[in-house]
Chains A and B, each alone.
Chain A
Amino acid sequence: MNEGPPKRALQFLRWFCREDYLEEIEGDLTEVFKKHFENSPDKAKWKFVLSVLKYFRPEFMKSFKSYQTNANGMYKSYFKVGWRNLIREKGYSFINIGGLALGIAVVMLIGLWVHDELTFDKLQENYNQVAAVLQNNTVDGTIETWSSQSYQLGLELRNNYGSYFKHVAMSTFPSSSILADKEKAFSAVGTFMEADGPEVLSLNMVHGMRSGLKDPTSILLSASLAATFFGTDNPVGKVLKLDNDLDLKVAGVYRNIPNNSSFRGELSFIAPLEIIVNRGGRSFGWVNNWLQVFVQVNENVDMQQASLAIKDAKIKNVNENDKRFKPELFLYPMSRWHLYSEFKGGVNTGGRIDFVRLFGSIGVFVLLLGCINFMNLSTARSQKRSKEIGVRKVIGSGRGQLVRQFFVESLLVVMIAFIFSLLLVYLSLPLFNNIAGKNIQINWTRPSLWLVLITSIFLITFVSGSYPSLYLSAFSPIKVLKGTFKVGRYASLPRKALVVVQFTVSVILIIGTIVVYQQIQYAKNRPIGYDLNGLITVPIKTKDVKRNYTGLRNELLASGKFSEVSASETTITNLWWSDWGFQWRGKDPSLQDNIYRGAVDYEFGKTVGWKIKDGRDFSREFSSDSTAMILNEAAVKYMGLDNPVGENIRAYGRNYTVIGVVEDMVTQSLYESNKQTVFVIDPFNNANFINLKISPHSSASEAIEALNKIFVRHNPGTPFEYKFADDEFADKFSFEVRVGRLVGIFAGLAVFISCLGLFGLASFVAEQRTKEIGIRKVLGASVSGLWQMLSRDFVILVIIACGIAIPIGYYFTTHWLQQYDYRTEITVWVFFATAAGALVITLLTVSFQALKAALINPVNSLKTE
């Protein structure tokens, strides 16, 4: 019968009752309860509850408001104490603030980048209604997704599917043309569009109207191009000559296409599509794909529904033979253009969104590393503050107040770190833009930016401050003040786990960086099959250049600066034209052939320096060479020819004889396998480029100067442009280089932040064990033994981290490499090197403190206090 009064009621009483009355009331109530309890337990309980309720009146209640009245003062004091602690422990403060500031700066930069990526194209007025029409074709059993369409399709969509679309606009792919007024001539990249184009693009007109394009002799200019020609004048009505050929009236000027638009850099001008149609040289059948088709769906039409509706618009109209490609059309909404641009097997497989996610998570992890430093150093140094906590508690500080105090201290650190990180971001933004290939500006006056910043200050404070504040506020004042306070053996376990997390993240990032660099290096060292050295390409943009080509060539050769000059349809670094319908002996009738073509002239091979493996090169000495063909090794394999030289191949409506085989060349992506390619003497008179090989006796600058003079003399109306082939070649891996550089920088920062934290922890441990080390030294411990003792713990942690990071890193990097056909193997040494590197860095970081502690004269360390 040792039952006490009802617990709930007692708790309630304790909660509301004034502290100074509680003792007496609770005592008396309990005594009364005990007396009643002997008679009838149930009644006693009821009576107790009832009595408690009777005390629930203002006289007996404690004042719940009393905390708030002096709270401001407390917070002021918290800031003051926090500030003093920061000043006193300058080293730790530096590590805390520095690590956090770096982490926050990284997150901010990545955040800006992610924001820029996610808001791509969103400035377009009809963002949710605009789509491009794409087609899936089954070629050789695999589904390929093409963005190019035929002229017929645009007409068909407009005429028979008009109810779905507000606007349908066909457009050429952007290409560069020459625009000239009386004095000036510039080459500019633009497109030729149907009259609805400006509506679909929702161009912001500065002068003139969007409808200006309806006149087939008009042109719309971007603001910057208009300014280069006409300065600040209103150019509407002025006349420009297109490609030295056609006079066009300026019908309007639109604001420059913003940087975060899929059309950036592609729309310096917009001219009517009729010009291209009337110019000739294009085919208008259903299977001749050379246009892009943009649509804007009607407001009440669902994009998905419209996409399904047009699915068969092409297959219905092509002939039986072309039906085998099973063309299926679909709409590709603008909202997915930028981030989801890759298709495999007819299905959208992502694209840049992968990088948004990758960098997003890297940013979060780097910030986490900074937060971990803060947590670790705060808890590690808890003993230093344990007395303060004890005294605060004894004086009457509740746990809630202590938690608040430590949150205020973390807030202080985070705010200082934030200021530094803003400074860092401000200073490093130009560099970041340069590396990331962006033009991000920060609009400091935007309220949403500040909202995000302030929210993140509190969020980071919460993340980094919650563990230390809960940990520190839990100290028992009696133990702490008695001096018997010892953190247990396992108290440092969470700290160790956090260090492992830090190094796991860092090591994964290092592995990633190494693999990306290896892949780039591997691709760079790929045998390309031709000689990039001193190779220049000059685009042929006007008919004049084509007409004057022979004279130009002869004079260039006569200058002695060039060892060879030739013309071709496409450049050797980017042979993208492919055809089907080839016939050869032994061809599998069911094969849907697809072979790339190099339409070149006789000297092309000598200019680029390809290597003939079998047979001979083109030569003007054989009059039959106009129907001669040279295959590359991949084409020989593709066609399954045992003895290719002398074979007859039918292509482009003619009969060709194979005269030679060249070694495979990298003519497309560096990361894909070599494509089957045939080279023929340009059957279409379609030369678009002049290729020049600088003579080994001449310097590049001399050669360019001579070329400029000769070119301008022969083509006075055409601006002179040229490109070094190796620059164009470098473009092939510029994206990978960019990714590699960014990941490398983040990996470096991650390692740096982790090491900062380790440095802090090491110095703390060394300081804590000063006496122990002194005694050990007195008893004869050697410096190297002490160094080992102090470093061992950290080394073990880093080894564990490597053990976790290596499988994860392996998984991610192999996954990343899968996307490349031509890829490096991940060798074991990558992991060994990373692990070894991490260990060396750890040892360097820790040893400084360890040796400092080990070298202290024991007399000094033992006489303290």
Chain B
Amino acid sequence: MKQQSLGEFEELVLLMVAALHDEAYGVAILENLEDKLKKKVNISAVHVALKRIEDKGFVKSRFGGITEDRGGRRKKFYVITALGKRMLDAQYVLRNSIYKQIPKISFG
């Protein structure tokens, strides 16, 4: 398997998709991210990230039903794939192992 890279924001979005499991669509992801990051995020950035991780095969998508709020447009829901989950796991393990190598440093 080719080594896939994952950008920082992409990783955040992927994490959020996994966290929101089955309820993850553009606006939900956006709001939860803003909530967690405590800063404004533009929806277009979320979409760009979603498209990229979908292209890399980490998420897959399906259309939901029509809702009135959206001017008659359907929601597009994202679900994490096995590959995406593995990627997240690998990232987590990698970071954890490196983190554990940090000597006990005290900053006062």
Residues of A bordering B, CB below 8 Å: 4-5, 21, 23-32, 34-35, 51, 54-55, 59-60
Contacts and interface: CB of A to CB of B under 8 A. Distances in A.
Interface in B49-72: 51, 63, 69-71
Contacts of A25: 26, 47
Nearest to A25: B47
B70 to A, nearest CB: 4
A26 B69 CA distance: 11
Interface in B16-46: 25-27, 30, 42-45
B71 A27 contact: yes
Given A29-B43, A32-B30, A59-B48, A24 B71 contact: no
Contact of A23 (B30, B51, B73): B73
Contacts of A59: 48, 51
Contacts of A29: 43
Contacts, number: 59
A32 B27 contact: yes
13 contacts: A5-B71, A21-B51, A24-B47, A25-B47, A26-B71, A27-B73, A28-B25, A30-B69, A31-B69, A34-B69, A51-B42, A59-B48, A59-B51
A131 B43 CA distance: 82
Given A32-B27, A59-B48, A59-B51, A27 B70 contact: yes
B42 A31 contact: no
B86 interface: no
Shortest beta-carbon contacts, A-B, top 4? A27-B73, A28-B26, A24-B76, A27-B70
A653 to B, nearest CB: 108
B73 A26 contact: yes
Contacts of B85: none
B34 to A, nearest CB: 11
A51 B69 contact: no
Contacts of B69: 30-31, 34
Given A23-B76, A24-B76, A51-B42, A30 B70 contact: yes
B63 A32 contact: no
B65 to A, nearest CB: 11
Given A30-B70, A31-B69, 8 more contacts: A23-B63, A23-B73, A27-B76, A31-B26, A31-B27, A32-B43, A51-B43, A55-B47
Contacts of B71: 4-5, 26-27, 30
Given A28-B26, A28-B27, A32-B27, A54 B44 contact: yes
Interface residues of B, number: 19
B63 A28 contact: no
Interface string B70-92: 11011110000000000000000
Contacts of A23: 63, 73-74, 76
Contacts of A26: 70-71, 73
Nearest to A50: B42
Contacts of B26: 24-25, 27-28, 31
A4 B27 CA distance: 17
A27 B28 CA distance: 12
Contacts of A35: 27
A23 to B, nearest CB: 5
A60 B63 CA distance: 18
A27 B75 contact: yes
Contacts of A34: 69
B54 to A, nearest CB: 11
Given A4-B71, A23-B63, A32-B27, A54 B42 contact: yes
Contacts of B25: 24, 28
A460 to B, nearest CB: 46
A31 B70 CA distance: 5
Contacts of A24: 25-26, 47, 73-76
B14 to A, nearest CB: 17
B48 A28 contact: no
Nearest to B73: A27
Nearest to B47: A25
A30 B44 CA distance: 12
B27 to A, nearest CB: 5
A460 B66 CA distance: 49
A361 B45 CA distance: 66
Given A24-B26, A24-B47, A59-B48, A30 B42 contact: no
A223 to B, nearest CB: 84
Question: Which among B43, B51, B76 has the highest number of chain A CB atoms within 10 Å?
Answer: B43
B44 A51 contact: yes
B43 A27 contact: no
Contacts of A32: 27, 30, 43
Contacts of A27: 26, 70-71, 73-76
A55 B44 contact: yes
Nearest to B26: A28
B13 to A, nearest CB: 13
B104 to A, nearest CB: 45
A699 B25 CA distance: 112
B43 to A, nearest CB: 5
B62 to A, nearest CB: 11
A32 B30 CA distance: 9
A37 B26 CA distance: 18
A864 B73 CA distance: 47
Contacts of A28: 25-27, 30, 43, 47, 70
Nearest to A27: B73
A51 B63 CA distance: 22
Question: Which among A5, A31, A51, A55 has the highest number of chain B CB atoms within 10 Å?
Answer: A31
Nearest to B51: A59
B78 to A, nearest CB: 10
A27 B76 CA distance: 9
Question: Which among A32, A35, A59, A60 has the highest number of chain B CB atoms within 10 Å?
Answer: A32
Contacts of B30: 28, 32
Nearest to B75: A27
A59 B27 CA distance: 20
A59 B47 CA distance: 11
Nearest to B44: A54
A342 to B, nearest CB: 74
A34 B27 CA distance: 11
A34 B43 CA distance: 14
Nearest to B29: A28
Contacts of B27: 28, 31-32, 35
